[in-house]
């Protein structure tokens, strides 16, 4: 498709293009922008300290690109919050943010609560389990928004090796991207196949976009974001940046199955809301898998409901804070 080819030429970047962080900061200050980094967490004491140290030392103290670094936590039972605070991050329990809205456990809940808690005109989200953390995981996503006013939502893409290896570099995303999301996009939203890694956990977004889209609290948050932004603002609102490689703990096939089940719920709900299909039949929320031991086969069930938070702009406390008088 010509649209995809043109978009790939103009809206796809490599982090190496943004080596001049001082120039990024100069442009940020010229435009009067404030930038927040949000790291959603749940039991990440092994990696969170290094992430905070890298981002704070390089992108706050050495180069003042970030105005705040905040941990939004789902209720860790390890030392995640203590470690993050000791290394200089602001730490918040998701349950303590907008308490009148209640608390729902999930990554999407943390991302949604961050919109209210943080001050940035741009919010950059970075996962907490990255073993090869580097400042590029932030500035590579923030820079396109600072330089390109028309861009609204910048996604990361990278190699995600199961083990370190040499040789040919494989393109594409993770396993759920390639066996579920990319086929769905190819069928229903061909232009969105231009996004190399739609499920990446690293992305930077302008506040006026974040506040207007709903947030699934679970596995479907990234897919739903892409569909909602695409429908409202089109492919031109997106950018993507190659961050080379991301090393993190890998999930089991069973865990990926649960993720795919949640994503599929969100996707089907979206195409029904968009009027692309007639009313869908009632869908089961019970995901069924099998465990085998010898000749014994046991079915394991888990209820997965992709509950959603409404657009933040509909929350009175948020409007009072960021849009007083409206």
The share of the chain scoring above pLDDT 90, in percent, equals 86
* pLDDT confidence tier of residue 174, bands split at 50, 70 and 90: confident
**Of the candidates 259, 311, 24, 246, the residue with the CA atom closest to the CA atom of residue 148:** 24
pLDDT at 161: 57
Alpha helices in 37-131 (DSSP H): 45-56, 80-86, 107-117
Mean pLDDT estimate for the chain: 93
CATH pick for 2-322 out of 3.90.550.10, 3.40.50.12280, 1.10.287.610, 3.40.47.10: 3.90.550.10
Q: Are strands 215-216 and 308-309 parallel, antiparallel or unpaired?
A: antiparallel
**Of the candidates 129, 128, 104, 124, the residue with the CA atom closest to the CA atom of residue 218:** 104
Residue 233 scores a pLDDT above 70:
yes
The span from the CA of 44 to the CA of 22, in Å, is 31
* pLDDT confidence tier of residue 241, bands split at 50, 70 and 90: very high
Residue ranges of the domains in the chain? 2-322
- The string of pLDDT tens digits covering residues 33-53 is 999 999 999 999 999 999 999
Cβ distance 73 to 114 under 8 Å? no
**Span 268-294, average pLDDT:** 92
Question: 221-233 vs 253-273: helix axis angle to the nearest 10?
Answer: 30
The span from the CA of 28 to the CA of 93, in Å, is 29
pLDDT at 214: 98
φ/ψ region of 140 (left if φ > 0, alpha if ψ in -120 to 50, else beta) reads alpha
pLDDT at 165: 46
pLDDT at 292: 84
- The string of pLDDT tens digits covering residues 87-109 is 999 999 999 999 999 999 999 99
pLDDT at 159: 87
Cβ distance 238 to 156 under 8 Å? no
Write down the pTM of the prediction. Answer: 0.93
pLDDT at 73: 98
**Span 307-325, average pLDDT:** 97
pLDDT at 173: 55
Q: Which residues pair with 70 in a beta bridge?
A: 38, 90
Other C-beta atoms closer than 10 Å to the C-beta of 220 total 28
Other C-beta atoms closer than 10 Å to the C-beta of 293 total 7
């Amino acid at each position: 498709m010509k649209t995809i080819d043109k978009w790939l030429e103009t809206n796809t970047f490599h982090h190496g293009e943004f080596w001049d962080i001082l120039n990024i900061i100069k442009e940020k200050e010229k435009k009067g922008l404030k930038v927040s980094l949000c790291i959603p967490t749940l039991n990440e004491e092994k990696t969170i300290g290094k992430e905070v140290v890298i981002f704070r030392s390089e992108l706050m103290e050495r180069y003042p690109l970030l105005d705040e670094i905040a941990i939004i936590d789902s209720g860790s039972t390890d030392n995640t919050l203590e470690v993050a605070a000791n290394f200089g991050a602001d730490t918040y329990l998701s349950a303590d943010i907008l308490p009148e809205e209640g608390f729902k456990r999930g990554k999407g809940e943390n991302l949604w609560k961050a919109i209210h808690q943080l001050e940035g005109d741009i919010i950059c989200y970075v996962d907490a389990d990255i073993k090869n953390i580097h400042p590029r995981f932030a500035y590579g996503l923030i820079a396109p928004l600072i330089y390109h006013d028309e861009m609204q939502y910048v996604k990361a893409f990278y190699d995600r090796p199961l083990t370190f290896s040499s040789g040919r570099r494989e393109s594409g995303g993770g396993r759920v991207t390639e066996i579920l999301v990319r086929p769905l996009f190819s069928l229903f939203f061909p232009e969105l196949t231009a996004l190399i890694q739609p499920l990446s956990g690293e992305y930077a977004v302008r506040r006026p976009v974040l506040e207007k889209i709903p947030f699934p609290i679970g596995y479907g948050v990234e897919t739903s974001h892409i569909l909602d932004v695409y429908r409202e603002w089109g492919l031109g609102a997106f950018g993507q940046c190659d961050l080379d490689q991301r090393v993190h703990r890998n999930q089991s096939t069973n865990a990926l199955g649960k993720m795919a089940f949640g994503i599929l719920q969100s996707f089907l709900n979206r195409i029904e809301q968009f009027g692309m299909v007639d009313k869908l039949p009632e869908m089961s929320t019970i995901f069924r898998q099998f465990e085998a031991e010898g000749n014994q086969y046991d079915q394991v069930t888990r209820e997965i409901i992709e509950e959603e938070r409404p657009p933040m702009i509909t929350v009175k406390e948020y409007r009072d804070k960021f849009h007083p008088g409206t």
